[in-house]
Structure 1
């Protein structure tokens, strides 16, 4: 059941439900599903190991399982959920955007970014977005549907397979125990950010389940540290408070974009329901319960939200809290009347926050050339 006041999504009449997948199920539910297929329950552990530890969804490679059982288990637990329409790369092939076609024809995108010391993946939790932020291409397209838990998880499983096999960003050499290859790059996924298409907390149950699949130890899940996962939100306050009670150690990123309600009502329309101070109070509750500092995401828009007085107000709201500000030079989107701030205004904004003792970073705008940067994902086949 949704928390009081939480936004809910109603699937269009006639919409098909994604088929049940191993990643949708808890370990106990997997054993029940395997038993219902007429196989020994311990086979669930074997299939989980192939999928979560070996990234192997082709039953032909499951040599520890009798051949007669492989196809039955694959059909019952690993249906085809999504396929790659195309990959496009930039930044000397260190940034790759993937367009996925889901089982019902819906399109979503994810972005994989390789740095010298880490590999980060930006994943989608919804097809489209219902938050309607006017500077975001995804928000302007509207919401199609929520992704299932397995559709979220499979984006990461596929990326981890490509990293291991050298399909993206490297020669595919054998990785050492810390995930580095002989050239000094990373061959393992180290950070996951729920900052792709959609508002993660508007698809609460499936996102929470996906986090557990990502972080459960092998073979129950992928064994990724919760501290390497960031979940973003525009400020769905009841869902934020519910998230604080989950016991997660993920980082919470709040897409604020304005420190005053008057402007934020326009830039982030959900602010008409939950005001800036309510959103920040819920964020501080999460910081207290999780022990993690909050990320404040702030897209700098020329002459809209980059004034010195707004920087000062933001600093006053944040000072003394466990927080870090990510300033994001606005990325261009089709038809937008807005653009990124002037360099001198960006510099002054940073200085104003630092004057209040608030840590601040200007985000590296990876993927602009392929419409893969923050706010640019639109999932089109053009």
Structure 2
């Protein structure tokens, strides 16, 4: 794509009859929850599993947004569903298109809050970076998202809804003749810490991986955590996706400043959790993400410590040139320094690709996401209450 100025589009949402917030959303329910919901409005129990399967396929294979389009269901049954339920997506406030083809979506969810998702097209894949929280509680000093205080957790519907929105925009419903998927990979690397919203992330990813729906391979889903050590093994057991560690430093003193959660679970505890990860193998390596910050964490000594720390762990190191944002207190490492760092890691036997910055012209690159609306920090009890009400 030729280099052009980024494009911003305001997308109109489909108007709905009545107040959709008054009706439960079927998007985001597990199969069992969907079956129970259908029984709750009068579906005979003997038919409920079949009906749930039919509705599931319409939601996640065809991407329908109207019960009237579920044509293998009787008309009166479609009317019953429309009376009691909704099929809701996050509202697309803006869609920005980068000169490199990256798309950034600003999405409005219940309560008027906003989150961002980013689609990155590549020759062999299309990766969708999705959010798990509004804002973030971790305050990592190099991350723009970390400067936005946590508002609340996203629901399963709001998490899986980001995938549906991207597929809507890309026109990816139905099977393509060449079999190529536009959204082939999901990374939980957007706004928020996924392991601080574990249950919702797990349920959303189980929907994404369901073979009769979105049908994304678990090995094409990567969850990135800054180091919530007690939940790492649980993620392997209950989600089973690929694991990425937002690492960024090789000493506790430096990591305490860059990734403050290190003060709670330090490098030693985090590395041990990685060694104990239940799905760890040569074919399912852990990715260690390492943002390159000039004069902070980019020395040859840092590179040598890094390979010593992860020795024996099937892993790759993803080197990320720092993506600047307004007021950022850091600078990107020089390219010769990044290459020297990568060379040390490579010679130690670890793949160390340098991530090409994507979508910088629309603030869509790694560490740049931040919704347009700021909210005050809330307690976990408030967040849980608002999520339940929303």
Alignment of 1:1-382 (within 5 A): 20-40=24-44, 41=48, 42-74=50-82, 76-92=84-100, 94-164=101-171, 175-179=176-180, 187-218=181-212, 221-246=213-238, 248-286=239-277, 288-289=279-280, 292-380=284-372
1:74: Cα distance to partner? 3.7
Equivalent position of 1:11 in the other structure: none
2:243 counterpart SS class: strand
Write out per-residue CA displacement over residues 76-107 of structure 1, whole angstroms, 9 at most, x where no aligned residue: 44343521001001134x21000001021000
1:30: Cα distance to partner? 1.3
1:164: Cα distance to partner? 3.2
Distance 2:156 2:172 in 1: 25
Distance 2:243 2:82 in 1: 35
Write out per-residue CA displacement over residues 338-367 of structure 1, whole angstroms, 9 at most, x where no aligned residue: 110011211111112123222211001101
1:116: Cα distance to partner? 1.7
Greater shift, 310-319 or 191-200, is seen at 310-319
2:124 counterpart SS class: coil
Alignment size in residue pairs: 349
User: Do 1:153 and 1:210's aligned partners in 2 also have CA atoms closer than 8 Å?
Assistant: yes
Distance 2:296 2:197 in 1: 30
Write out per-residue CA displacement over residues 25-83 of structure 1, whole angstroms, 9 at most, x where no aligned residue: 22222122112112342332221111011011222322222333324314544343521
Write out per-residue CA displacement over residues 170-215 of structure 1, whole angstroms, 9 at most, x where no aligned residue: xx9x722522xxxxxxx43111000011100010011111111111
TM-score, with structure 1 as normaliser: 0.86
1:18: Cα distance to partner? 10
1:320: Cα distance to partner? 2.9
Distance 1:205 1:199 in 2: 12
User: Do 2:27 and 2:87's aligned partners in 1 also have CA atoms closer than 8 Å?
Assistant: no
Equivalent position of 1:3 in the other structure: none
1:232: Cα distance to partner? 0.3
Distance 2:280 2:352 in 1: 23
Equivalent position of 2:384 in the other structure: none
User: Do 1:109 and 1:124's aligned partners in 2 also have CA atoms closer than 8 Å?
Assistant: yes
1:158: Cα distance to partner? 2.2
Distance 2:240 2:33 in 1: 25
Distance 2:303 2:80 in 1: 59
1:281: Cα distance to partner? 1.3
Equivalent position of 1:14 in the other structure: none
1:285: Cα distance to partner? 1.6
User: Do 2:108 and 2:115's aligned partners in 1 also have CA atoms closer than 8 Å?
Assistant: yes
Q: Aligned in 2, Cα 1:351/1:56: closer, same or farther, shift over 3 Å?
A: same
Distance 2:289 2:280 in 1: 21
The Cα RMSD (Å) is 2.2
1:127: Cα distance to partner? 0.8
Distance 2:258 2:79 in 1: 50
Distance 1:300 1:292 in 2: 25
User: Do 1:130 and 1:198's aligned partners in 2 also have CA atoms closer than 8 Å?
Assistant: yes
Write out per-residue CA displacement over residues 267-301 of structure 1, whole angstroms, 9 at most, x where no aligned residue: 00000010112111111222655661000000001
Distance 1:223 1:19 in 2: 27
